[in-house]
Structure 1
Amino acid sequence: MKFFIDTANLKDIQEAYDLGVLDGVTTNPSLMAKEGIKGDENVKAHYKAICDIVDNNVSAEVIATDFESMIKEGEELAKIDDKIVVKIPMIKDGVKAIKYLTSQEIRTNCTLIFSPGQALLAAKAGASYVSPFIGRLDDIAIDGLALIEQIVNIYDNYGFSTEVLAASVRHTMHLIQCAEIGADVVTCPLNVITSLLNHPLTDSGLEKFLADHKKANS
C-alpha cells in the first residue's frame, strides 16, 4: 500500500518523507488556502516546492469545471514537474478531461468519488487514480469502507490499472481497514500515519529494556 499525505504544509510533508514511508502528496484548493497560498503563480511555486521534497505523485487540483478550461489548467499544472498528477472532479466534463489528458500521457486523479459507478467511469476514461471519500460517506451514515471494497472488486474483475486511492481517511482504523480490503493508496493527515507507531506494550517494553540495561550497567 502507498501512503500519501493530504496537506500543503511543507513541514509536515518533509517530516513524513523523513520517516521513510511517504509515496506521495494530495492537495486541494482548501489545503492551499489553509497555508495562506494565494494567486496562480504562488500556488504553482508551492506545488514545485512540494515536488522538490517527494519522489513522486503530487496531486494538484484544477479549479475549472468545464472541459476546455480543465484541459488548459491541467496541462499547465503538468508542466510544473513530472511528479504532478492532475486532480479532476467527477463530473461529465471531468471524465472527458481525464480521457484527453490520459491520451497526452498526463496522469490524473479523479476526485470526489462517492459511488462504484463513478469509479467505473473514471477507470474507463483512463484515470491513474480514483479518490473515494470514505470519511465524508461515514458522516452521512453510509459505509465508506464498503465503497472501497466494491471498487477494488470491480477493478479486479476487469483488470483496470486505475489505482484506488482512499481519501478522507481520518484515523488509524480507517487506514488499517483500507489495507485489509485492498486499497492501493491511502491519503491522510500526518498524525494518522504517525499514530501507527503507537502501542502501549511497545512503550512499556522499551521502558523495561532500558531499566534492565541501567541495572546491569550500574
Structure 2
Amino acid sequence: MATQNGTSAKLTEPLFGTAENARMTGTGPAIWLAGDPEDLPEWLDAGAAGIVTNTVVLNQMVQKYGQITELTQRYLDITDKPVVIEIDGHSTQELLDVGEVFTKMSDQIVLKIPASTHALGAFAELKKAGVPTFCTTVFTLPQAAAVAQAGVTHVLPFCEPFNDVGGDPTKLIRDCQEMFDGWADRPFVTAALVRSVETAEAALADGADGIIVFWPVFRDMMQSHLTDEWNKTFLDEWNSMNDAGLMKDLPVQKH
C-alpha cells in the first residue's frame, strides 16, 4: 500500500489524531454527512466534518453518476473536507489494492471497511501507510477491541439495527467508551446508521465522538418548538429596532 503524500499532515488533527486529543482541543463531537453529492454542499458549509459513504448509498449513486471513481470525484469536487469511501472485498490484499485506487485520487480520501477477519490485516497495513480508516458494521465489544488493536482510526457502532430489534441503540457506544478509557491512542467512537434525531441525541449523550447522519437528520437536529418561539421573540424585537430607524448604520434586511 503506497503512502499518500500529505495525508498525515492534512488529516491527522483534529479528526484523525487520538480521540482524547480531539476532546482536549475542544473540537466537540463531529457530525458527518451522507447522501447525494447534489444535496450536501449547503450542509457541509454549515459545519459538518465531512462526507461518509456506504455501499448501499454508493450503489444508488453510481446508477445516477456512473463509475464509482467518477462518483468519488464528485464528492471531492464539492468539499475540501475528508471524504470517507466504503470499500469491500474478499481478502486483505483485495482491500488494500482497491483502497489504493481511492487514496491515490486525493489526500482527502479516508477508507471505510466492514468488520471482518481479513479487514484486520488491512487496517494494520493502512495504519503503517498513514491512511485513516473507519471500521463499520461493529455490533459487539470484542469486535471493537479487535479492530482498535489493528489500528483503525474510527470504530463505528451500528445504532439503528439495535432499535429495530427492541434493543438499546447506543449501549455499545457506552461500552466502547468505558473499554477505551485511559488508552493513550484510542480510536474515535463514531455512531453509524443514525436515522433519527432521537438516536443522534442518545449517541451524543452516551459519549459518541461523532455521528454519521443523512442531511435531513442534520437539518432536523436544529429543530425545537422552544427555539422557534424564542427565535420569533428575539427577531420581533430586532425588527422593532429596525422599524424605529435605530439600525441605520447596519446592513440589515427589510422584512
Partner of 1:90: 115
Greater share of helix: 1
Cα gap change, 1:203 to 1:100, in 2 (>3 Å) = same
CA distance in 1, matches of 2:243, 2:167: 57
How many equivalent residue pairs? 215
Q: How large is the RMSD of aligned CA atoms in angstroms? A: 2.2
Match of 1:152 in 2: 177
User: 1:206 and 1:22 mapped to 2: Cα distance?
Assistant: 23
Equivalent in 44, 47, 50 of residue 24 of structure 1: 50
Q: Which amino acid aligns with 1:15?
A: E
Q: What's 1:166 paired with? A: 191
Query: Any idea what SS the aligned residue of 1:188 has?
Result: strand
Partner of 1:196: 221
Question: Which of 146, 167, 179 does residue 204 from structure 2 map onto?
Answer: 179
Higher Cα radius of gyration: 2
Deviation of 1:145 (Å) = 0.6
1:126 aligns with 2:154: no
The one of 33, 39, 55 aligned to 1:12: 39
| Gapped regions of structure 1 (runs ≥ 5) | none
Q: Give the 3 Å change call, closer, same or farther, for CA 90–38 of structure 1 in structure 2.
A: farther
Q: Is the 8 A contact 1:123 1:160 kept in 2?
A: no
Q: Which has the higher relative contact order, 1 or 2, with Cα contacts under 8 A spaced 6 or more apart?
A: 2
Aligned to 1:3: 31
What is the TM-score with the length of structure 1 in the denominator?
0.89
TM-score, structure 2 normalization: 0.77
Q: Any gaps of 5 or more consecutive residues in structure 2?
A: 1-28, 245-255
**Which residue identity is paired with 1:17?**
L
Q: Please, which of 47, 63, 66 is the counterpart of residue 88 of structure 2? A: 63
Q: Percent identity?
A: 25
